[in-house]
Chain A
């Protein structure tokens, strides 16, 4: 679990770090759409150049990104494999029952692989350069129009940010309880599956009890400090949209235009 890079924040001072979370989220979502414009090697090449440019400007080392892709690699390869095996067309290299390995199949597999990896890399770049709290702020701001539809956006984002706050606490506590039970002779990850399941009870019960306690304390704290759900609240955290945010969205627009141009130039549609 600790190996997961996606969702982690790496503090830094890069250009990416200073972007407004809203523009980062918008750009990332937009990029995923743009990816579907790609249909030949020229367009994929352009996307790769863009992706590498983004990773480079985040000022986080490439090895961190590679570690981010690694846990998902098997899932990606599995999908690619299916694509390769079940897509026909072009020169056929091998045929065995319903399974064919063809030129188009291989090409499609390669494209799918690129799409997956690029999407992961770009989303990793966003989370690595944005504090979790800024992400929730960004999501909150982008979802604000939904308030008109009676969606409790503010409550949801407060819930999300409090939960995020407690992730490290919960991890610490898990570690502590596990240590305490280890000191009393528990061996984790040893024995049969049933035995392993049994060792989890002494961890989950104390964690459950302390989480309940904490939830009660938190509810009291929030009430005493004047929190009433549904009441109008102001916000201390301010997001500021700067020139670089506009610039980054313009870059996205430029990318789209280049993509469409490359598509029509090379394939005619």
Chain B
């Protein structure tokens, strides 16, 4: 079953020794619907990654609480609640390939399931299954992760998260640094996993075309707050606000705005992809 995520008045900061960082999340209220695909956007340092961490108990609220499924994370938490949450929420960090450590790919993928009490033989079965699902050959299982290419490493790292069979998937720029083809493949993979398994998925990205292609809803963050949370078309129709928040619009939308300005007309709908824009251009009779 897909899971709901709820934030109620969440404020949080990192504390490192005597230095207390400024608040990275400020009184956040949020409801992520079960089974939805949400993109989180905002400029660097606006709190996107912190929001993801709060969903996984890696950043504990100093005020308020986070609810994932039936589990609550708040400042006075016990370890069991955190472990429950982490089992349900799979988190893919930025450049996840830099966290690989196993002697073999199989060992690395099995790490998560084993930590959550899956027996070894079963974990190995899972590893075999997910490695194929991320588009790799099962023979790779016996290789050292350090001998793989960059793109393969990324897939192995993601497989390590999928192997935990999470109900919620949170991803911090999973396509960053990959070539266009590799990036598309990874995002398609995540998208199909999302639909097949009925996951609740949250994706941090800087690429608005990814938002347009894969997400349903968009959260815009600015200075530790959620300044907008709506379906993607409403978010991108508001270009004046987006400029203030240092957020781009998808290429198709940007082009649409240029034409609208040049012609002094308004199209019937907000176009987010090349296909939509093509349709609209034909409909308006520009071609």
Contacts and interface: CB of A to CB of B under 8 A. Distances in A.
A binds B: yes
Interface string B56-91: 101000000000000000000001000100110111
B93 interface: yes
* Interface range, A side: 20 to 34
A187 B112 contact: no
A64 B96 CA distance: 38
A176 B93 CA distance: 9
A256 interface: no
B213 interface: no
Interface stretch (A19-27, A104-112, A146-154, A205-213): A205-213
A185 B87 contact: yes
Contacts of A179: 53, 58, 93
**Which of A3, A67, A180 has the most CB atoms of chain B within a 10 A radius of its CB?**
A180
Contacts of A224: none
B79 A190 contact: yes
Nearest to A179: B58
B49 to A, nearest CB: 10
A181 B116 CA distance: 12
A67 B101 contact: no
B86 A182 contact: yes
Interface in B151-165: 160-161, 164
Interface residues of B, number: 27
B115 A210 contact: no
Contacts of B116: 185
A183 B96 contact: no
Interface string B127-148: 0000000000000000000100
A184 interface: yes
Nearest to B103: A205
Contacts of A4: 17
A164 B89 CA distance: 37
Contacts of B58: 179, 182-183
A181 B100 CA distance: 10
B17 A183 contact: no
Contacts of A186: 115
B47 to A, nearest CB: 16
Interface of B: 16-18, 53, 56, 58, 79, 83, 86-87, 89-91, 93, 96, 98-101, 111-112, 115-116, 146, 160-161, 164
Given A2-B17, A3-B17, 5 more contacts: A4-B17, A182-B86, A184-B115, A202-B111, A203-B101
Interface of A: 1-5, 8, 64, 67, 171, 176-177, 179-187, 190, 201-203, 205-206, 209-210
16 contacts: A1-B17, A2-B16, A179-B53, A179-B58, A183-B89, A183-B90, A184-B86, A184-B160, A184-B164, A185-B83, A185-B112, A185-B115, A185-B116, A187-B83, A201-B101, A202-B101
